[in-house]
């Protein structure tokens, strides 16, 4: 059975999609950009601050669904500039370093609202 997950502790969807969908013990979380949920504004221009906010938004959705970072099996990072890879990894490691999920990290031409990073996750119980 499909269950839609939504929380006010993460930014509202910017389009016709759900923050997350749970199906048969698997949680698919839509890409989270570094917006502050309360204001729907960019947290900072700094890539580390943006990475942290994106991960905090993901944490809020995981929490709402009853999951944790330890349940994450796959992450996808979309980044504006591969030169930021090291800085993004520093922050990412604080949240998922011990979990070590499968991951892809790709440089993209443009992200929503011209942010520097967007991260999506898949978690399994």
Q: Which residues are catalytic?
A: 105
DSSP code, position 9: T
Q: DSSP secondary-structure letter at 13?
A: P
The secondary element (H helix, E strand) that includes residue 1 is none
Residue 9 tokens, joined: 């502790």
Q: How far apart are CA 3 and CA 118, in angstroms?
A: 23
């Amino acid at each position: 059975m499909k269950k839609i997950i939504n929380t006010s502790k993460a930014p509202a969807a910017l389009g016709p999609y759900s923050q997350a969908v749970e199906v048969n013990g698997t949680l698919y979380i839509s890409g989270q950009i570094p917006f502050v949920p309360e204001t729907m504004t960019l947290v900072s221009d700094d890539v580390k601050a943006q990475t942290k906010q994106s991960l905090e938004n993901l944490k809020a959705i995981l929490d709402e669904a009853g999951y944790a970072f330890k349940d994450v099996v796959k992450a996808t990072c979309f980044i504006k500039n591969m030169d930021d890879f090291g800085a993004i990894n520093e922050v990412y490691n604080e949240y998922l370093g011990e979990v070590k999920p499968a991951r892809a990290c790709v440089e993209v031409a443009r992200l929503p609202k011209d942010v520097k990073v967007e991260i999506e996750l898949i978690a399994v119980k």
